[in-house]
Structure 1
Amino acid sequence: MAVKLLRVREGAGERDSGPVAPEKVLAGMPQQLTEHFFTNAKENFFCGIWSSDAGKWTLTYSEDEFCYIIEGEAVITDAEGVSERVSAGDAFCIPAGFEGTWETIGTVKKFYAIYEE
């Protein structure tokens, strides 16, 4: 059986939307939309497009995530209080074990690829 290339096209994935979990929210009432494109056979690698509107919430990562900001901007702050602003065109990784906050300024959209042991 031949393995085929899987194209990632916005509007072609499985969509899921709703609020950020209320127990994590620190500011605003952020809503998020995930468009999921791929899960591997081991179910430990995923990719898609995620977006949210304004708000701030806590993060605790058990997975490694690659992110590419497609539009908008956000501020990511680690547990020690060090903040980084990310905006359209920025690519970065959030390693497993990261704890801190995510704050969406206005709206943001990112491409994500997640790997979890």
Structure 2
Amino acid sequence: MAAFLEVNTETVVPEVGAPAPDRLISGDPKFRTWNVEERDGSLYAGIWEATPGKWRIAYDEWEFCHILSGVSVITENGGEARTVRAGDSFVLRPGFQGT
């Protein structure tokens, strides 16, 4: 097994999806995800893409994000809205809830 794992949107077929209906606030967002995973669960990474919309999110694990293109507004419940753009990176801690 190779030790170098490439995330290539040209050669990997993405998974497609959308927010669960009970989490949707506005819009009609659609997702595409190009995943890299280890069978033992020790790694889960990839590239995620979304069309415009707003939905509730909740994380029970660490989430590192690096914005490749576009703009996103992340708001923690009870907190201020944070706008992130292409080139920005951030981490959400386990327990994050918001939009």
TM-score between both structures, scaled by the size of structure 1 = 0.77
The structural deviation recorded for 1:3 is 4.7
Distance 1:87 1:52 in 2: 14
CA distance in 1, matches of 2:46, 2:13: 9
- Unaligned runs of 5+ residues in structure 2 are none
How far does residue 92 in structure 1 lie from its aligned partner after superposition?
A: 0.7
Q: Could you say what the CA RMSD is over the residues aligned between the two structures, in angstroms?
A: 1.5
Equivalenced residue count is 99
2:54 is aligned with 1:56? yes
CA contact (8 A) 2:65 2:91 kept: yes
TM-score by length of 2: 0.89
Please state if 1:85 is matched with 2:77. no
Structure 2 residue aligned with 1:19: 18
Matched with 2:96 is 98
Q: Which amino acid aligns with 1:10?
A: T
How does 1:18-37 map onto structure 2 within 5 Å? 18-36=17-35
Within 2, Cα distance between the matches of 1:8 and 1:71? Answer: 16
Q: Does 1:42 align with 2:40?
A: yes
Q: Take 2:13 and 2:61, find their aligned partners in 1: how far apart are those partners?
A: 21
Corresponding residue SS for 1:7? coil
3-state SS of 2:22 partner: helix
Tell me the CA shift for residue 7 of structure 1.
2.0
Q: CA deviation at 1:44?
A: 4.2
Which of the pair is proportionally richer in strand? 1
Runs of 4+ in 1 over 6 A off after TM superposition: none
Overall identity of the aligned pairs, in %: 34
Alpha-carbon contact 2:38-2:44 (below 8 Å) kept: yes
Higher RCO (C-alpha under 8 Å, 6+ residues apart): 1
